[in-house]
Amino acid sequence: MISRILDNKKKFITALLFLIIVSAGLNAILYFAGFFSISADESGRTLLAYEWINEGYSETPTWLPFHTIVMGFGIKIFPDLFWTPRIIGSLFGVSAFISFIWLTHQLFKDRYITLLSSVVALFFPTRVILSAVPLSESMFLFFIFSGIALFIIWLKSEWDHNLFLSVLVISISTSIRYEGWFFSIALISVLIIVKKLKVKNVSIANFFIIGFISFAFPLYWLLFQANISGNPFQFFQDASRGYENAEGITLFTILKNNYLTRFVHHNIIYLCFPGVVASFYLFFRDSAIRKFLILLLIAFIPLTIMSFTGRGVPTHNIWRVTELWNILLIPFTVFFIKNLQLFEFKYLKHLQKIKIPLLIVLILIYYSFHVYRLMGIDAFTKEELKIGRYVEANLIEVDSEKKILIEVPDWSYINIIVASNKPEMFVRNSDFNPKIKGNEILSKDFKINLDKLSNRDIKYILLKSKELKDKMKDNPFFKEKKYFSEWTVFEL
């Protein structure tokens, strides 16, 4: 059956289109199963986009603006803070899957490798998860995969416009994630190597144009940060400070959280390590693949070195930074499986007796368990969505002049605000960061000050902690309006 698909171009394209449709269906299945996010960042990014489209930045942002701008205009068109980011994220997730297929085919020009790599990537656990959540990763993957595919086309053709398109697309990634800055540097480095080796001719004028396109946004961002905060590297210091406060910079945390460790960890558990063997093999046998691998290494090595200092590392889900490199090993892993006889491993040769599709099926079954495991990260629960929708329908729409005080016991409060679709209706009981306490409007240690509430037009109160709930129940000025499994709504 596979051979019939591979031999017929129309059937081959139809099979790929089917896989693309399935990739969109997987996102829908995840949503119906109640999987909405992997961290509080999804809700934080949504609120930032909502704030930006309505008022502009209120403070110096650490997150790059592309995601904020796209989500902001999306919310402007369809004002649902829960579904709009997920629809946009899914569209970019499917687009990233398409660009991965395109990149794989340009790299190997082998329908067998393209088709099986697409099947493996379709169920690759972290690709599935990142394509469903409204983070910046799916956007970043789309532009990086597309940019590299165009670069490979340029290496194999005479058309310089493919090079400029590649540079332009990768330069967009510099406004999505900071790793894109390293890819721009890597691309120019590879072009210098290509020119020195006289593989391709790149004029000095073209180098200036490429350099300008590549570094236009990073330069703008440094000036923007300097203008707002007085420090062009404010974003870097914010990220480093966040990591240091969350994890602490010790020998243990550096060994645990550096990007090389994270890469190797996922490389092993998601069975990408044969791709490393295949990439070494092909490095010395295919010039286009060699330049592709050099590009990936030049982008990855400085990131890794930086992470060993404990600087510029995210506070959580650190694996997200390196996952692009693991996904790009999938075609090499499939190449390894297809060409086991090329490698001098005595026992691996016997695997040729097993049908390769059966081996792929076993891998996909293994992946399904990992997808299920990752779905267990309930950062945004059905309960929080239910509470937010209740607040929207029964409090905000009924009494739009009054505010809602919300407790900040943990990061779940931010999900409720998002689900309500009206962030401006909420007054936080304390600092937006649950780890920073003080200056609470309602405190378990002090008497309730009704003037504080009335001066802020607060009529409803959302509480999670037992101490504050008990305090409300003992006060005759408040009545319990709605009880949820963790949160309770009180009315003044």
Residue 392: DSSP 8-state = I
pLDDT at residue 351, rounded to an integer = 56
Answer yes or no: are the C-beta atoms of 448 and 442 closer than 8 Å: yes
Distance between CA atoms of 130 and 67, rounded to whole angstroms? Answer: 14
Cα separations in angstroms, 151 against 55, 137, 329, 357, 441: 39, 21, 18, 31, 56
pLDDT at residue 28, rounded to an integer = 95
Q: Which ranges of the chain have pLDDT less than 50?
A: none
Beta-sheet strand order (sheet of 403-406) = 426-428, 403-406, 458-463, 488-491, 479-483
Contacts of 465 (CB under 8 A, 6+ apart): 407, 409, 444
Q: How much is the pTM?
A: 0.94
Answer yes or no: are the C-beta atoms of 207 and 191 closer than 8 Å: yes
Q: Which two tokens stand for residue 244?
A: 């240091």
